[in-house]
Amino acid sequence: MSQARNPIIVALDVPHLESALALVQQLAPVVGAFKVGKELFVATGPEIVRRIRDTGASVFLDLKFHDIPNTVAKAVEAAVRLDVQILTIHTSGGLAMMQAAQKSAEEAALRSGKSQPLVLGVTVLTSLNTNDLDEVGIPHDVGNQVERLAGLGAKAGLGGLVCSPLEIARLRQILPSHIQLVTPGIRSADSKSDDQKRTLTPKEAMAAGASWLVIGRPICAASNPRAAAEAILSSL
């Protein structure tokens, strides 16, 4: 998927179809896409994706696939048939798994006549630190491990990566420029940080080289979500 002009992706972190669709209806004219994560997808199933697509809005299916190459390829194929525009896989699934996912996205799009989704690789979850990596047998500093996995994702032909806002500048230096970087952890200077510890403002993240900004609570929990999204857009 080529990058839309509006880089805001709203994280629909709500448990019900109705509340998600109410947000979509309000926000669709002022944002670039909607992220459906595990909670909403497990609660509502593929129906939520169909209903969002019916409005014409783009969907980012954030299920972070991580399995054997054949299983991930089949899951990606099903996501293409569902007509999602962005999806996620774990880079730690390995080169062959990522290549299978990318190839499946390309072939399934051709076969089904749907658009080819942007396949994003998740590197190291931001909930993990160097000690956590050591516990699972990865004796590397988090930053180095992120770089290593990002490089592997690029080698596999992925179109983009998910990273924390503070990793954008470093990854921009080592990755080919066509790789799209998608970042959560976005907060305006005057808004509360919730449980996000390492944040950048929308403008800072775009200046550092982000392609897309994933924003949840600053928009969805605002008293007027549409006004909040418009304010963020005009700050860019």
Rounded to an integer, what distance in angstroms lies between the CA atom of residue 186 and that of residue 174? 23
Applying CB under 6 A, which of residues 32, 185, 202, 209 lies at the interface with ligand C5P? 185
| Residue among 7 and 37 whose Cβ is closer to ligand C5P | 37
Tokens of 55: 């409005």
Give Cα 86 distance to the centre of its chain: 7
Q: Does 49 engage in binding with ligand C5P (CB under 6 A)? A: no
Nearer to ligand C5P, 187 or 209 (CB): 187
CB 6 within 8 A of CB 209: no
Closest approach of Cβ 164 to ligand C5P, in Å?
Answer: 6
Residue 107 interacting with ligand C5P (CB under 6 A) = no
Q: Which residue has the tokens 């972190």?
A: 13
Q: Pick from 46, 196, 222, 230 the residue near ligand C5P by CB under 6 A.
A: 196
The residues near 42 (Cβ < 8 Å, ≥ 6 apart) are none
Expressed in angstroms, the distance from the first to the final Cα of the chain is 22
Q: Is 194 in the site for ligand C5P (CB under 6 A)?
A: yes
Contact between 217 and ligand C5P (CB under 6 A)? yes
192 is catalytic: no
* DSSP structure string for 119-176: EEEE-S-TT--HHHHHHTT--S-HHHHHHHHHHHHHHTT-SEEE--GGGHHHHHHHS-
Q: What is the rounded distance in angstroms from the CA atom of residue 179 to the CA atom of residue 17?
A: 32
Number of residue whose CB is nearest ligand C5P:
216
Q: Does 117 bind ligand C5P (CB under 6 A)?
A: no
Number of chain positions touching ligand C5P (CB under 6 A): 14
Residue type, 74: K
Minimum distance, C-beta of residue 192 to ligand C5P, in the bound complex (Å): 10
Q: How far is CA 44 from the centre of its chain?
A: 19
Q: How far is the CB of 141 from ligand C5P (least distance, A)?
A: 17
Q: What is the per-residue burial (b if ≥16 Cβ within 10 Å, else e) of 211-220? A: bbbbbbbbbb
Nearer to ligand C5P, 209 or 218 (CB): 218
- One residue of 7, 32, 37, 69 binding ligand C5P per CB under 6 A: 37
Only one of the segments 130-138, 169-177, 216-224, 226-234 lies at the binding site for ligand C5P (rule: CB under 6 A); that segment is 216-224
From 35, 64, 103, 155, the catalytic residue: 64
Q: According to CB under 6 A, which one of 58, 216, 228, 229 is a site residue for ligand C5P?
A: 216
Q: Rule CB under 6 A: is residue 9 a binding residue for ligand C5P? A: no
Residue 194 DSSP class: T
Enumerate binding residues for ligand C5P (CB under 6 A): 11, 13, 37, 126, 164, 184-185, 194, 196, 214-218
Catalytic residue numbers read 64
